[in-house]
Amino acid sequence: MDEKAKKIISEAKKSIESVVKLPELEEIRVKYLGKKGEITQALRSLGEYPEDERPVVGRFLNEARETVKEMVEARRSHIAAIDLENKLKAEDLDITLPGKRPSIGARHPVSVVYEELERIFAHLGFEVLEGPDVELDYNNFEALNVPKNHPSRDIQDTFYITDESVLRTHTTCVDIRIMKNRTPPIRAIIPGKVYRSDASDPSHLPVFHQLDGLVVEEGITFGDVKGVLGMFAHEFFGPDTDVRFRPSYFPFTEPSAEMDVSCVICHGSGCRLCKHTGWLEILGSGLLHPRVLREVGYDPEEVSGLAFGMGIDRVTMLKYGIDDIRLLAENDMAFNQQFIHVW
C-alpha cells in the first residue's frame, strides 16, 4: 500500500505542477480529495483490508491526503501571485508611487454665514421662520405701505407670476404673514431666497439671499434697534467693529436708518473696498410704520415694532473679502475649496 500511496502522490504532483489556472487546479483537487476522489474512495474501502493491515494502510492514505492538500494550496498561492503580477503589469500601475489624497468637500460660504446668523440671533432670543417664495402682491407691496405707483412694482424690477402674485422681492413680506397669524410678543428672523429682475454683475444677481428681522411688543424704541444690531455686528464682524446709523427711507419703517460698520479691510482708515470712507453699508432698519401695524390688525398705540433686513450674500462677501457676488453662484470648485476649513 505504501507504493500505491507514493504513486498517487507522484501522479498528483505532476498534475498540480502542470496547471497554470485556478479552475484547472480545482479540478485536480476534486479528482484526488473530493467526495469521489481517489484518496477519499481508498479511505472508504479500508474495510476491505484484513484488520491487522488497516492501521498501516490508513496511515499511508492520510499522509497522502495531507501531502496532496499541501501541494494544492502551495500551487494555488503560486498561481494567485502570478495572476496578481500580470494584472498589475496590465494596468501599468506603479505601486511604489504615493497614493492620491481623497477629495474633501467644502461647505459653501453662504451656507456657513446662514448658520452663523441664525446662531447669533438665536442667542438674542429670535426664532427662525420661513415663508413661500411665490408671494401675494398684496403681502409683498401693499401691506408694507408700498404704493401701487412705486418703481419697485414695475415689471422691469419684479418677476410677476400672475397679476396678484410675484416671486418675492424681499423676505420682509413674511413679516406680514407672521403678524397676521400671531399676537405679540414676536421676535423672529426670516432668511431665504429673494428674486429681482436684475442683470448679473459684480454686485447684483437675479436670485440672492436675504435675512429679515422682526420684533413686535410693547415699548419698542429705536434704542432697541441699535442695541440688537450693535450686538449682531460685534458678534459677526468682531468686538472691535464700529457701528453707525444713517437716516434713510423705507416705506414700511418710520423712522428708518441704514447701518454701517467699520471697513473689515482697512478698519476705518480708508481703502478701495469702502471707497476711502472707512465705512461699509450692511443693512437697513427702522421702527415698523403705524400703517403696517394697523394693516395686520395691531393697534400702534398698544404695540410697536422694529424691522431690519440684510443681504446674506453681501455680508458673506464682506466677511471673506469676496469682490464679485457672481462667484457665490457659479459653483466653481477652485473657489469653493478656499473655504474647506470654514465651518
DSSP string, 202-234: TTB-SEEEEEEEEEEETT--HHHHHHHHHHHHH
Return the percentage of the chain with pLDDT > 90, whole number: 44
User: Whose grid coordinates read 471697513?
Assistant: 263
pLDDT, tens digit (0-9, with 9 covering 90-100), for 182-215: 999 999 999 999 998 888 888 788 999 999 999 9
134-136 and 165-167: which strand pairing? Answer: antiparallel
Q: Which residue has the higher pLDDT, 74 or 40?
A: 74
Higher-scoring residue by pLDDT: 8, 207: 207
Whole-model pTM?
0.68
Domain chopping of the chain, boundaries: 2-91, 109-339
Which residue from 326, 264, 240, 251 is spatially nearest to 292, judged by alpha carbons? 251
The string of pLDDT tens digits covering residues 118-166 is 999 999 999 999 999 999 999 999 999 987 776 666 666 789 999 899 9
Residue with cell string 436684475: 198
- Predicted confidence at residue 343, as pLDDT, reads 54
**Which of these ranges, 63-77, 206-220, 236-250, 291-305, has the smallest mean pLDDT?**
63-77
14, pLDDT greater than 70: yes
CA nearest neighbour of 343 among 107, 104, 105, 103: 107
Look at residues 308, 302, 313 and name the one whose alpha carbon lies nearest to residue 187.
308
pLDDT at res. 51: 77
pLDDT of 28 > 90? The answer is no
Q: 3-12, 73-82, 257-266 — which is least confidently predicted? A: 3-12
Give the separation between CA 97 and CA 294, rounded to whole angstroms.
Answer: 73
Mean pLDDT over 111-120 rounds to 93
Residue 320 makes CB contacts below 8 A (sequence gap 6+) with: 109, 339, 342
* pLDDT over 90 at 252, yes or no: yes
Q: Which three cell numbers stand for residue 90?
A: 496590465
Domain 109-339, classified CATH 3.40.50.300, yes or no = no
At residue 192, φ and ψ (nearest 5 deg) are 165, 175
**Tens of pLDDT, residues 67-98:** 888 888 888 888 888 888 888 777 776 778 88
